[in-house]
Amino acid sequence: MPSMNRREALKTGAVALGGIAMLSTGVLAGCARDQRPPTTGILSRDDQDLAEAIADTILPKTAASPGAKEANAGQEINLLVTDCYEPDAQQRLLKGLDELRQRCETAYNTDFAGLPRDQRENLLRVLGVEAKKAPPDTHWYPLMREVAERAYFSSQIGMTKALRYIQVPGKWVGCLPLAPGQRAWG
């Protein structure tokens, strides 16, 4: 067995320390984002609360699963919009939230969360129809719906309670029939 000289030992040690330093600042830094304050991002506290109320109307609590509010979707929506969307999409969403806020004040003399559930659902249906009539990527509601669904279904509650979840799956089966009312796999 050949002996290792001092120069090779120092090189090996430096590479190992460099790898540890990169691991601690790169990979493990991704875990630190859960410790960010909830209002760090593009959405203000009011915008985040409104986005969570919209998400909870789209994905309400049922007998089978908790809703978006229980999953703290507002924080995740703020994170998604801030970190994953272009500035034009961010501004479109902010403008849309302001428009919804004004619409509720003018038509109902209250905020969106203060409306009864059926009125919130009807208002979101109207926004969905308006969005379909608008040119692509100009209306804010499809973006809001997308981030609400992503925030909810990527949360622990969404993955484990709303979807059919197995932590360590078995073999891969590409196509399985679902019975009526059976939840999809997560």
Q: What is the DSSP string of the chain?
A: -PPPPHHHHHHHHHHHHHHHHHIIIIIGGGGGGGGS-TT-SSS-HHHHHHHHHHHHHHS---SSS--TTTTTHHHHHHHHHHHHS-HHHHHHHHHHHHHHHHHHHHHHSS-GGGS-HHHHHHHHHHHHHHHHHSPTTT-SHHHHHHHHHHHHHTSHHIIIIISB--SS--S--S-----TTPPPB-
First to last CA, the chain: 52
Residue 100 within a domain: yes
Domains identified in the chain, total number: 1
> pLDDT-derived band of residue 109, with 50, 70 and 90 as boundaries?
very high
Give the residue numbers spanning the domain of 81: 33-162
* pLDDT at residue 38, rounded to an integer: 47
Q: What percent of the chain has pLDDT over 90?
A: 61
Model confidence pLDDT, tens digit, residues 147-170: 999 999 999 999 888 887 777 767
Look at residue 172 and tell me if it is in a domain: no
Q: What is the pLDDT of residue 165?
A: 77
Cα separation, 167 vs 186, whole angstroms: 10
Tell me, yes or no, whether 111 lies in a domain.
Answer: yes
Q: Which has more pLDDT, 104 or 20?
A: 104
Is position 118 within any domain?
yes
**Local confidence band at 171 (pLDDT 50, 70, 90 cut-offs):** confident
Look at residue 82 and tell me if it is in a domain.
Answer: yes
Domain assignment of residue 140, yes or no: yes
In this predicted structure, what is the pLDDT of residue 168?
72
pTM for this one? 0.71
